[in-house]
Amino acid sequence: MPIKRLLIANRGEIAIRVMRAATELGIATVAVFAAEDKLSLHRFKADESYPIGKGLGPIQAYLDIDEILRVARMANCDAVHPGYGFLSESPEFAEACAGQKIVFVGPPPDVMRALGNKVSARRLAEEAGVPVMPATGPLPDDAQEIRRLAAEVGFPVMLKASWGGGGRGMRVVEDASGLLDQVDQGRREAVATFGNGEVYLEKLVLRARHVEVQVLGDSHGNLVHLFERDCSVQRRHQKVVERAPAPYLDEEQRDAICAAALGLARHAGYVNAGTVEFLMDADSGDFHFIEVNPRIQVEHTVTEQVTGIDIVRGQILIAQGARVGDTESSGVPAQEEIRLNGHALQCRVSTEDPENNFVPDYGRITAYRGATGFGIRLDGGTAYSGAVITRHYDSLLEKVTAWGPTAEVAVLRMDRALREFRIRGVATNLIFLENVINHPA
């Protein structure tokens, strides 16, 4: 059935991104906003907007399933898009939508439950014959058993939250001396961020490249990949610069890693947009599965630029029942028709202050000038003169994506674009980004 009214259960940049795709499809958009977001741009970009979370905190408002569905019913919405973050990986939210006969634009709850949990996803990968990184299962409460499991994997290890992403709950553990403290800290952060303190340990690759494969599947069993992205440039386990395609992969490696991603997705019965993530040893070239993100990713723009496929538009059409491989109905062609065209990279412009240990800055943007020109794409939610940046939410101002026929041209265009920005009133990471793209090592 065609979607006529779409509620976006999110805020900021990704909410506006979804609204644009929906508007192009002739779908009315409905925004929700917490009290702290009453002046946020996403509420004004939508056809209609409604306050949520009275008496709740700024984050909790966007995590209240009953409240969001109350607005969806009141506004006669027949579908909900969760964006990324917040409830985007919540099978309970997907189930609640189904219970109200509202289309959830994302994977089915059972698939989300199986893949959203990193430990469960590892088991599926093993069943599908995809190489996985040595790791434990969910850590028990017993301290002695935690030490034994860590020693079995072998230090150094990475502590990870079983649910959610974005670097939350992650800790590098060099040796046994700091193990238990790091586990306690990771559990507390996981509970605060995802509402679940389950964590596990994974072998740490010291010289690793982070490669992820974009997949799109429909409810009819059709599945394709849109090639890979490199997300190796990170700070505090948060991605800073993303590229597509990964420039260090040869065709044999590219075919192998994309085939592994499709194999896992098929085994899991994946539907809608998702990302299969791998770590690749920079020395040996071996790759291992680490997790699946069953949602749209922040960095999806680089894949769109090099394939020409609107992933968010595809998400919405797939949720309506369109078939992947039928370009006219879904906007997603068959695998043999998907081609790479040039190179793209994305930088995340934020209010993190490099001169103050990257602490996010807050206040009013007194002057703003963005970048423009050939090959430059901007996706923003709070980047404009007069915008008030609060401490309640992520410090992201704008995503800048540069495309070029070669990797070198894409980097030159990004460098030029970053230099064009003028943002006054709050500190930004622009100078840091310029240094990173010009000196990536």
Active-site residues: which are they?
239
Closest CA to 399 of 376, 420, 419: 376
Contact 380, 13 (CB under 8 A): yes
Q: Using CA atoms in the order 350, 351, 356, 359, what is the torsion angle rounded to 10 degrees?
A: -90
Give the C-alpha distances (Å, rounded to integers) separating 17 from 4, 132, 241, 335. Answer: 17, 33, 19, 25
Closest CA to 215 of 324, 93, 330, 114: 324
Distance (Å, whole) CA 413 – CA 401: 9
Instruction: Count CB-CB contacts under 10 A for residue 323.
Output: 18
Q: Each residue of 133-154: b (16+ CB within 10 Å) or e?
A: bebbeebeeeeeebeebbeebe
Distance (Å, whole) CA 312 – CA 391: 28
191 Cβ partners below 8 Å, 6+ apart? 197
Distance (Å, whole) CA 306 – CA 310: 11
Contact 53, 62 (CB under 8 A): yes
Q: What does 251-264 look like in DSSP terms, one character per residue?
A: HHHHHHHHHHHHHH
Instruction: Count CB-CB contacts under 10 A for residue 11.
Output: 28
Q: What does 280-344 look like in DSSP terms, one character per residue?
A: EETTT--EEEEEEE-S--TTHHHHHHHH---HHHHHHHHHTTPPTB-HHHHS-B-GGG----SEE
Q: Using CA atoms in the order 172, 174, 177, 180, what is the torsion angle rounded to 10 degrees?
A: 20
Closest CA to 297 of 342, 260, 244, 251: 244
Q: Parallel, antiparallel, or unpaired for β 396-404 and 343-350?
A: antiparallel
